[in-house]
Amino acid sequence: MSIGSWYIIITKVYEQGKMGAQARAAEKNFWKAPSVQARRRRPEEVSPFRFIAETGIEATSKHTGLLGKVDMNEWITMSIQRAIDNVQSRTQDGLAFLATVGSTAPFVGLFGTVWGIYHALTAIGIAGQASIDKVAGPVGEALIMTAFGLAVAVPAVLGYNWLVRRNKTAMERVRSFGADLHAVLLSTAPEATVVRAKPWR
């Protein structure tokens, strides 16, 4: 549990830092292109912002047939929102494990303590010696399991809360980008070209 928790915390911090850099790059460079399509053709690394942009462009190109009966504004809104939801679900990968570890590790440690005390008291009963020096040692060793459980649970809980706060900040930037993209696509919808969005991860 401890190894898994620290692995998730480290990898999520790296991913969130990378996403923050991509957000700053998108805010700085994306809107300087003459059109969304021109910006899309630039060879850049895959990012959630590019994924959302390509999803929005794909939505404008698919606004035909039965889908053409849907209002363009509503159709683009739904498409971009689905892309944002996809990004959000990926940013939450691993957080459920941290929450599970944080809630169960103390009980696992407590179970170890109870089990150790049971065997210690059983051994003392068989030996027939109940002096404090005979009881304190085995019971003290059993309590170590509770300490282990807390040592695993506390970093998991703190890491979970910290990562959730960082995710909220990142998603605010993603939603802001989606709202701006929505306005741009509505104003340039006739210029849209066919494109298929690629997963960003």
Q: What is the pLDDT of residues 162-177, one digit of tens each?
A: 999 999 988 998 988 8
Q: Domain boundaries in the chain?
A: 2-191
Q: What is the pTM of this model?
A: 0.73
pLDDT of residue 55: 84
What secondary structure does DSSP assign to the chain, as a single string? Answer: -HHHHHHHHHHHHHHHHHHHHHHHHHHHHGGGSSSHHHHHTS-----HHHHHHHHHHHHHHT--GGGGGS-HHHHHHHHHHHHHHHHHHHHTTTHHHHHHHHHHHHHHHHHHHHHHHHHHHHHHHHHT---HHHHHHHHHHHHHHHHHHHHHHHHHHHHHHHHHHHHHHHHHHHHHHHHHHHHHHHHHGGG-----PPP--
Write down the pLDDT at residue 161. Answer: 94
Supply the pLDDT for residue 195. Answer: 45
List, for the chain, all residue ranges whose pLDDT scores fall below the cut of 70. Answer: 31, 33-45, 63-70, 127, 129-131, 133-135, 189-201
* Per-residue pLDDT reduced to its tens digit, 29-59: 776 766 666 555 554 567 888 888 888 888 7
